Structure 1
Amino acid sequence: MATTRAAVYDGDARLTVRDVELREPGRGEVLVRIGASGVCGSDRHVLDGDWQMPQPTIMGHEGAGVVEAVGPGVRSLEPGDHVIMTWFYPCGTCSACRQGRTWVCTGSRSEECLLPDGSTPMQLDGAVAYPYLAVGSMSERVVVAEQAAVRVPKELPFDVAALIGCSIATGVGAVVNDAEVKPGRSALVIGAGGVGLSIIMGLKLAGASPIIAADVTDESLELARQFGATHTVPSGADLAEQVRSIVPDGVDVAFEAIGRPETIALMPAALQRGGAAVIVGLPPQDRPVPIDALALAEEGKSLLGSNYGSTVPARDFPMLGWLYLDGKLPIDELITNRCSLDEVNDAFDLMRSGARGRSVIVF
């Protein structure tokens, strides 16, 4: 066992940075030295008690780094490769995977924070520790399943690459894969945080117009305009009226990127007939959303759930990386705070305060 410094969650919202034991990669596994880890809202859901995870948990699931070693049987990667981690590794054998729909794989154990063989590679004080979503990227080094690490161009900066692993893939994928937005379609994005801004980037890339962003802070709305929103409105109970003052019939598609039942419920009224509302933000467990099902049916509107933007990591991560390198996705402008691992709690405090943009831990 080697030792790695990592951010540990043990039931307290304040993480502790501790030494964690990390074993060598086994069959079908790779050892990755982390270059950067995103600080994502999904991590905060765990720290704030919205979602339950096995403990102690090594936090972080948006990670990018360099392969240092590979276990027996690994064929797609070798030491020196630059990789992005996926927080939902596919099993490759279930019905969904055989259809190419890896985002709804039924054989993955990532949500249990386990590797494919049911083990974890980490220990804390001699007891089992669980890397969050089988990644645990808030650690200097990680051991992950081969299919959880996707090779990307070495020119891609680690901080940008880390965000591709979750928020960028989720946001752009929700636009391109789930909603299949066509040029000239109108759109509403509720929430201009990391995922919301990624959705706006995806909408601009797809040629949508107008793009309306709604948020509660002026700072976030200003950032939304920088990323491609043509109009901004304050988010509130009268959101549908504000949207219809811009697009009288309502928008073609609406995205909720916060994960609040109250704002999810606002989407259908802002849609035109035949429009689609896409749930991208993940709400707390056991929080139902009030929806007028009769109005939804009568007006031919759709309510879609977007899981990971229907991303196929092996296909989409390199593509998103090249789009950044070609200047078509300004991902680096999304990063407003770069910090060290020891400053991880400050980064979560910034998120809770509503600070704009994204924080990234740089190793």
Structure 2
Amino acid sequence: MTDLTFRAAVLRSSQEPMRIETVVLDADPRPGEVLVRLKASGVCHSDYHGRIGEWTMPTPMVLGHEGAGIVEAIGEGVTTVEVGDHVVLCWTPSCGKCQYCIAGRPVLCDRFNETGAQHRSPDGTTRVRTVGNEEVFSFVALGTFGEYAMVPESAAVAVRRDIPFAEAALIGCAVTTGIGAAVNTAGVRAGSTVLVIGCGGVGLNIIQGAALAGARTVIAADLSDAKLDSARALGATHTINSGTTDLLDEVRRLTDGRGVEFAFEAIGLSKTIELAYQATARGGTATVAGQVPEGVTISIDPFEMSDQEKVLRGSNYGSSRPAIDFPRIADLHMEGRVQLSPLVTRRITLDEIDDAFEEMSRGVGIRAVVEYE
């Protein structure tokens, strides 16, 4: 066994700052595993839920799940990546054998629900430990707020080598979640009307996905004028500051009183989920892409659902097929059809991770990205 020591941001309590610690990993990949040296990791709102205790999770924990890096070593049987490949990490590694994988829905994989969702590797172990041999969990079995990660083969998706790592990292969560929610989950059609509530990392990519699909009207709603400016730059045709304008009234005005065919919630609040549903036209679909804190519930009128044939649905990871979608999105970015660079509004070191979370709590910026040496 070869021990690899490296730096990681470790969460021990939501009530205290994260600690930059030296941790240890067995650097010899087991069959079906890939060792990745991280080059960049986005700071995502899902990490923030864990950071402030809105989600229950075991500690100590290396947070982070939106990463890109270089393959350092591969285990027996690995065929889809080679040493030296540039990869984007996928936080729903799939087994390829369960009913969901066979049906083409790998983000709902049984094995991930049983292991990765519990922050353990597919064999049920945790691979990281402290120098004192204390077990350390890795968020969704990735833990990209560390310099290395040992992941199952399906969690390391090779992409072209000319895409910058900071931009590539965002494909691992926000970009795929957003574009996929529009294109895969909801199936936005050419010429359709769309509302996106929340213009953070996911919401802005829903806007990009709707524009890619050919939507005629893309309405972006947020409390931040700066984020609404970003929304226009990425494809929104109309913007609403819902802190100063009644959202439903303005949506109806822009859609001849009907509401939109497709509404998306990308924040994770009960009020805005309900607003997205209320803003849909008869026969329309509201899609929830935002992640809520534990225990949050919503209230909707079931008669309205049946009488008007309205649909309320969820979208996990943009209903993506990461092995296919990650390389495609990388290509779209390099071809200029999807913009990833404007999403990176701050580049930080690992030591600045709590500063990034503090800015996130204030709604500042779109994506802070940790860049590793």
Question: How far apart, CA to CA, are the structure 1 residues paired with 2:262 and 2:124?
Answer: 40
Question: How far apart, CA to CA, are the structure 1 residues paired with 2:326 and 2:126?
Answer: 25
Question: How far apart, CA to CA, are the structure 2 residues paired with 1:257 and 1:235?
Answer: 14
1:189 aligns with 2:192: no
CA drift of 1:50 comes to 1.1
Alignment of 1:125-274 (within 5 A): 125-235=132-242, 238-248=246-256, 249-274=258-283
| 8 A contact 2:157–2:323 mirrored in 1 | yes
Q: Deviations over 1:318-345 (max 9, x none)?
A: 0000000110001111111111111111
2:24 to 21, 45, 49: 21
| 8 A contact 1:34–1:137 mirrored in 2 | yes
| 8 A contact 1:241–1:270 mirrored in 2 | no
1:110 aligns with 2:116: yes
| 8 A contact 1:21–1:123 mirrored in 2 | yes
Q: For 2:111, what is the secondary structure of its paired residue?
A: coil
The residue number in structure 2 matching 1:11 is 13
The aligned amino acid for 1:278 is: T
CA drift of 1:268 comes to 2.0
Question: How far apart, CA to CA, are the structure 2 residues paired with 1:90 and 1:185?
Answer: 33
Which segment drifts farther, 158-167 or 120-129? 120-129
The aligned amino acid for 1:19 is: T
1:290 to 270, 295, 299: 299
| 8 A contact 2:204–2:234 mirrored in 1 | yes
The residue number in structure 2 matching 1:275 is 284
Question: How far apart, CA to CA, are the structure 2 residues paired with 1:91 and 1:349?
Answer: 36
Question: How far apart, CA to CA, are the structure 2 residues paired with 1:277 and 1:340?
Answer: 38
Show structure 1 runs of 5+ residues with no match.
Answer: none
Q: Deviations over 1:272-324 (max 9, x none)?
A: 11000000001111111111111121111100110111011101100000000
1:40 aligns with 2:44: yes
Q: Which runs of 4+ in 1 moved over 6 A?
A: none
Q: Percent identity?
A: 45
Q: For 2:110, what is the secondary structure of its paired residue?
A: coil
The residue number in structure 2 matching 1:119 is 125
Question: How far apart, CA to CA, are the structure 1 residues paired with 2:129 and 2:172?
Answer: 25
CA drift of 1:11 comes to 1.5
1:76 aligns with 2:80: yes
TM-score (norm 2): 0.95
Question: How far apart, CA to CA, are the structure 1 residues paired with 2:283 and 2:271?
Answer: 22
Q: For 1:107, what is the secondary structure of its paired residue?
A: helix
The count of residues paired between Structure 1 and Structure 2 equals 363
The residue number in structure 1 matching 2:332 is 323
CA drift of 1:235 comes to 2.4
Q: Deviations over 1:225-275 (max 9, x none)?
A: 111111111226932111111112111100000000111011122111100
Q: Pairwise CA RMSD of aligned residues?
A: 1.1
Question: How far apart, CA to CA, are the structure 1 residues paired with 2:276 and 2:172?
Answer: 27
The aligned amino acid for 2:11 is: Y
